[in-house]
Amino acid sequence: MPQLGETVTEGTLSAWHKAVGEAVQPGDVLFEIETDKTSMEIPATFAGTLAEIRVAKGQVVAVGTVVAVLSESAPGPAQPMSVPDMSLTAQPAAARTEAPDRYRTVRTPAENFGRSRLRNGTLVTPFARRLAAQAQIELDDVNGSGPHGRILGRDIQASRAGARTAPTPNAPDVPDAVNSVTRLYAHTAFEPIPLDAMRKRIAKRLLQAKQSIPHFYLSMAVTLDALIARRAAANEAAAFGAQGTPGLKLSLNDFFIKALGRALMRVPAANCVWAGDRLLRFRQADIGVAVAIDGGVLTPVVRHVESKTLIEISTEMRSLAARARERTLLPDEYQGGSIAISNLGMLGIEEFLAIINPPHAAILAIGAATRVALESADGGVRFASQMRVSLSCDHRVIDGALGAELLAAFKHGIENPAELLLR
């Protein structure tokens, strides 16, 4: 089972493309795996015969697990072979029947004890990684006491001692919790739905986010009339391409992404994330955009929004959204960024508050446009299209006034859309 990103520790083997006894050539697709974020076909890296399948379709397996064995030729007994990373046949040293070649084996979590740098930038010593792996302690939950917040062995020992003496009320025994809930519905017909990897990951991350990030919320009404007119004119001008083919249609969301990117450039102090003992401030606008998919949500990241045109943003976002729904995004396409957009306006939701997706420091929730009556300059009444936007902020990074400044900059961009047409 190959590694598909620094934070991926397991995946579901969703399909086999070869059967036992079939010949395999380099580049042939052998099997498919699914994680909570992506789906990927895994090719062979050398020729041989598929001699043994050790993991059946549908099973969840850890990174580095031997899922199958290729023999050099058929017939004959299966011979485990040492191959480079991403291969099927590399085995942990303890499981090998032949003399191990540790320089060519898949580097498994059991051998390397996890990442030396967490996603928030925190460093972890080798000794601490080994202790955490042995004690099954999540490094993301440990506060480091070393220089610049580095996690040391003593931090893991303290965390392990604390877990033995004071079980946290937020981590109940799962079987007991399941039994206590199901007993309430003993006389009600229901269908138990097992949690897939994506739903488990979403539950874990958002629970952690809500418990560990001090959220606060800012809301504002934004008038859309100028933007709607500008978008209609742009789409009409691009109705047909050079050869008479239908042109690309800009969505309102494309303008929202661009406006938020420009707002981050105008308010650079808000373009940050929390990194334990420091803030990381970015010089570019990398914006995650929530995409609803079957069974959950993925947030691909549009990078360098500040330097891209609306057409470039629209083209890239269509591609990212399509591959998110197919679950074929690469880790680099959904990791990183400082802020995200969640737009439920197209579903008729007028206003909502979103939960921040770590490591982001904020998320912008966009509601549906409605017609409202406004007082005109001469004291009369005029009607306008307005939407409600709400900014969820991490108070460790963004204070109230700073969040208000960012939201005001976004509003300015939406209500002055001619500026968004500039690169």
CB distance 255 to 249 below 8 Å: no
Residue whose entry in the numeric block shows the structure tokens 């229901």:
190
Residues in the chain: 423
Strand partners, 382: 374
How many Å from the N-terminal Cα to the C-terminal Cα in the chain? 43
- The encoded tokens of residue 237 equal 């001008």
Q: Which residues of 96-135 are buried (b: 16+ CB within 10 A; e: fewer)?
A: beeebeeeebbebbeeebbbeebeebbbbbeebbebbbee
What's at 369, amino acid-wise? Answer: A
User: How far is the C-alpha of 274 from the C-alpha of 161, rounded, in Å?
Assistant: 27
CB distance 288 to 340 below 8 Å: yes
CB distance 102 to 93 below 8 Å: yes
Other beta carbons within 10 angstroms of residue 253's beta carbon come to 18
Catalytic residue among 148, 304, 360, 395: 395
CB distance 408 to 218 below 8 Å: no
User: How far is the C-alpha of 363 from the C-alpha of 296, rounded, in Å?
Assistant: 17
For this structure, is 412 an active site residue?
no
- The encoded tokens of residue 318 equal 């269509």
User: How far is the C-alpha of 199 from the C-alpha of 190, rounded, in Å?
Assistant: 19
H helices within 185-278, ranges in order? 197-212, 225-237, 252-266
Strand partners, 215: 394
User: How far is the C-alpha of 121 from the C-alpha of 396, rounded, in Å?
Assistant: 16
User: 168 by DSSP, 3-state: which?
Assistant: coil
3-state class percentages of the chain: helix first, strand second, coil last, to nearest 5:
35, 25, 45
What's at 366, amino acid-wise? Answer: I
User: 161 by DSSP, 3-state: which?
Assistant: helix
The catalytic residues are: 395
